[in-house]
Structure 1
Amino acid sequence: MFRFDPYSPAVDADPFPFYRVLRDEHPCFWSEEAQMWILSRYADIVGAGQDWQTYSSAKGNLMTELPNRAGATLGTTDPPRHDRLRGLIQHAFMKRNLESLTEPIRDIARTTAQALQGRERFDFITEFSSKFTVRVLFAALGLPLGDEQKVRDQAVLMVQSDPVTRAKGPEHIAAYQWMQDYAAGVIAERRARPLNDLISHFSMAEIDGDRLDEREVLLTTTTLIMAGIESLGGFMAMFAVNMAEQADARRQCVANPALLVDAVEESLRFNTSAQRFRRCLQRDVTLHGQTMRAGDFVCLAYGSGNRDERQYPNPDVYDIGRKPRGHLGFGGGVHACLGTAIARLSVKLAFDEFHRVVPEYHRAEQQLAWMPSSTFRSPLRLELSVH
């Protein structure tokens, strides 16, 4: 009998064979282990993402949710509250515009890459992607220098779950509380002394007299730290896996860095780090012969939708010439990621500089150790060799 357990190390390591069985044989599948329905076909996932009245995010969007987060962040609210939050947060993003961040991000990428000059073997995550993403996040949010390693460690713990208990463990909850306490301290400082950073702009964002309340500012900041470190860092690691394994594609990108734009989009389709998010049904829905009941949780398996041959020909082939329109690498519907522009820019600039220093590389280890997470997928380490 087929089983799908999103907490399984086997799914962490390679979810795609499971996804194919789900799409072909069980497109609306009840997972006993997760206690929720799994939607795996592209059209069903897109439809659910657009129908927020039925597939609600208000009870949390992570497969294993953190306490007291639901209902106060962009990812855990529905319209009209979601629209209000998005408008205020987008206002802050516009104040801290991409143009002002481009050169600082490039400088961070260049400095981080140059530290690898002459190295024959290194861990891409420890020595490049995590350093880069944390420094970019600190620059964008205005976090105090010196806290980088601690913040990263806690952010990575926050998104993990215990594969045995299928829940957040005490260490994951403690990391989340630490991050809230840390963010609260920074927010208080920015309220007293505003700067040109996102936290200052969140604190002061106002549209027609409406402002984010204290809890909204706190949880928005906490979520952005988590997303900035894990979502961006995890995707950079997955992109490096693709570049290491796809030598022809990598060499094309090295020879013509403009192709990195297309390679990033194909990697977001082929190997997104944001694999699965959940919704809660507000009414009964019958789909593919199965009736899902109001109150049931539903998993939108973005990683599966991106490999659906009903949407993308030869979906298991990595092709930087594909230009995969409508991929789910940044989610979809009303909950499409707000940080897509800065994420795309950051990865493009990071690999521009990385490839100048390390144009030839491959995976040094056959087996990867994967982060235990029911929502995100990325390796814990990625040893690269230049020979």
Structure 2
Amino acid sequence: MSFLSPEDLFSQCFGEIKMFVFDPYDPLVDSNPFPLYKILRDDHPCHWSPAGNMWFLSRYSDVLTAANDWETYSSTKGNLLAELPNRTGATLGTTDPPRHDRLRSLVQHAFLRRNLTALTEPLREIARNAVKKFEGRKEFDFNREFSTAMTIKTLELIIGLPPSDEDFLRKQAMLCVQTDPVVRGKTQEHQDAFRWINEFAQSVIEDRRANPKDDLISQFSIAEIDGDRLDEREVIMTTTMLIVAGAESMGAFMSLVAMNLADHPEARSRVVANPELLPDAIEESLRFNTSAQRMKRVLTRDVELHGQLMKAGDYVCLTYGAANRDERQFPNPDVYDIDRKPRGHLGFGGGVHACLGAIMARQAIRIAFEEFHKAFPCYRRVEHDLPWMSSTNFRSPLSLKLAID
């Protein structure tokens, strides 16, 4: 696979204009942000983007420092570059300690009550049923037909969603994290999708309170530590964001793992021959091509970095996707290497806001590929140029057609 060099891409994007501007709404950022990330890291490590109306940090050390310093880089104004209404202050990603610690402890308490070992066989059965749909076929859309089905069924199993229209639910989740490059933000369609999932979550919560089950929604809707419980808005918003993160982010990352292995047949052959390498391949995919590319913070004080003065109240983007390709931290970062064991990657974020569901996501994706590879050990991409979701935060192929060899 060939990509434009950073210089060629810069010339293509900006012609003779000498000033570099990173625009998170540019479709090129959705399809292939990595050459632009290199320009950011090398020449503009603390970059003010008038197009994004915020600063962009791109070097690993800077992003990690900011992720760990919640007192300076606050999440209280939201973490989406184009924020959804009424979300901030009621989710793990939009609060800081001590409020964040309270929320995380209560939700984590519900997570810890789930027996991950007991979920292994049910997850494996979900994957087997998803694979069966492709028997006798030579081509299919992994994104729509496998990762969507696997993800939604996993949500039904783990967090307690009722049986749902898989395509519709994932479409609604995708709309929540999408942005419109023309209006440069959320449209009414995006807001309506978020409202729909919010109301869907509320109906599930009401049902679980009347009919408790052994699932996450039942657990954290009544989770209590020393008499402290989530309030109603927190329960509804936390459930809403679990649905969005599970249906879209985990589904997107599953498709990205498939894309990486399809594009690197030697690595795929090794993983198929030795499934014990799957965890390493997943970790390298989290570094190399994670779904969560960029998250927003707001400064609580002035910060001077790389000769630039960022002022209190300014928005700052922690560009995780760029940090994970920083050669200052990861040698040969643009090489997909399943032997790398990339400790410290930011594929699930970092600091107090690191993804709470990371362990469950890793387990579900590992089992999914173990079963997928038993049925289809050799596959390749049908299309070189994929359609990509328009999003200022996440990277997700809208389809991934695979041919079975």
| TM-score normalised according to structure 1 size | 0.99
The counterpart of 2:129, out of the listed 100, 104, 111, is 111
- Contact in 1 for aligned 2:23/2:52 (Cα 8 Å): yes
**What are the Cα deviations for residues 15-42 of structure 1, in whole angstroms up to 9, with x where unaligned?**
0000000000000001111100000000
Write the letter of the residue equivalent to 2:232. Answer: E
Give how far 1:149 is off. Answer: 3.1
Alignment of 1:59-138 (within 5 A): 59-138=77-156
Q: Which residue of 2 aligns with 1:259?
A: 277
SS at match of 1:377: coil
User: CA separation in 2, counterparts of 1:329 and 1:146?
Assistant: 28
Q: Which residue of 2 aligns with 1:140?
A: 158
Write the letter of the residue equivalent to 1:35. Answer: N
Unaligned 5+ segments in structure 1 are: none
User: CA separation in 2, counterparts of 1:147 and 1:204?
Assistant: 27
SS at match of 2:316: strand
SS at match of 1:362: strand
User: CA separation in 2, counterparts of 1:341 and 1:266?
Assistant: 15
Relative to structure 1, is the Cα distance of residues 34 and 120 closer, same or farther in structure 2, using a 3 angstrom cutoff? same
Give how far 1:96 is off. Answer: 1.9
Q: Which residue of 2 aligns with 1:213?
A: 231
The reply to whether residue 45 of structure 1 matches residue 58 of structure 2 is no
Q: Which residue of 1 aligns with 2:219?
A: 201
Give how far 1:144 is off. Answer: 1.3
Q: Which residue of 2 aligns with 1:27?
A: 45
Q: Which residue of 2 aligns with 1:349?
A: 367
The reply to whether residue 317 of structure 1 matches residue 317 of structure 2 is no
Q: Which residue of 2 aligns with 1:284?
A: 302
User: CA separation in 2, counterparts of 1:133 and 1:47?
Assistant: 32
Alignment of 1:166-315 (within 5 A): 166-315=184-333
**What are the Cα deviations for residues 46-81 of structure 1, in whole angstroms up to 9, with x where unaligned?**
000111000000110111111010111001000000
Q: Which residue of 1 aligns with 2:76?
A: 58
- Contact in 2 for aligned 1:183/1:222 (Cα 8 Å): yes
User: CA separation in 1, counterparts of 2:379 and 2:136?
Assistant: 13
Relative to structure 1, is the Cα distance of residues 178 and 212 closer, same or farther in structure 2, using a 3 angstrom cutoff? same
User: CA separation in 1, counterparts of 2:155 and 2:76?
Assistant: 27
Residues paired across the two proteins, number: 387
Give how far 1:148 is off. Answer: 3.0
Cα RMSD (Å): 0.8
Q: Which residue of 2 aligns with 1:368?
A: 386
Q: Which runs of 4+ in 1 moved over 2 A?
A: 146-150
Write the letter of the residue equivalent to 2:319. Answer: A
**What are the Cα deviations for residues 68-112 of structure 1, in whole angstroms up to 9, with x where unaligned?**
101110010000000000000000001123122211111101111
- Contact in 1 for aligned 2:144/2:167 (Cα 8 Å): no
- Contact in 1 for aligned 2:148/2:166 (Cα 8 Å): no
**What are the Cα deviations for residues 219-273 of structure 1, in whole angstroms up to 9, with x where unaligned?**
0000000000111001011101101000000000000001001000000000001
**What are the Cα deviations for residues 156-178 of structure 1, in whole angstroms up to 9, with x where unaligned?**
11110101111100000000001
Write the letter of the residue equivalent to 1:41. Answer: R
SS at match of 1:309: coil
More displaced stretch, 145-154 vs 361-370: 145-154
| TM-score normalised according to structure 2 size | 0.94
- Contact in 1 for aligned 2:205/2:236 (Cα 8 Å): yes
SS at match of 2:329: coil
User: CA separation in 2, counterparts of 1:250 and 1:225?
Assistant: 30
SS at match of 1:259: helix
Write the letter of the residue equivalent to 1:97. Answer: N
User: CA separation in 2, counterparts of 1:328 and 1:176?
Assistant: 26
Q: Which residue of 1 aligns with 2:5?
A: none
Unaligned 5+ segments in structure 2 are: 1-18
User: CA separation in 2, counterparts of 1:257 and 1:61?
Assistant: 36
Q: Which residue of 1 aligns with 2:178?
A: 160
User: CA separation in 1, counterparts of 2:119 and 2:178?
Assistant: 30
- Contact in 1 for aligned 2:147/2:251 (Cα 8 Å): yes
User: CA separation in 1, counterparts of 2:135 and 2:269?
Assistant: 19
Write the letter of the residue equivalent to 1:226. Answer: V
- Contact in 1 for aligned 2:148/2:167 (Cα 8 Å): no
- Contact in 2 for aligned 1:116/1:357 (Cα 8 Å): no
More displaced stretch, 92-101 vs 31-40: 92-101
Write the letter of the residue equivalent to 1:272. Answer: T
Identity of aligned residues (%): 62
The counterpart of 1:338, out of the listed 347, 356, 359, is 356
More displaced stretch, 151-160 vs 263-272: 151-160
Q: Which residue of 2 aligns with 1:9?
A: 27
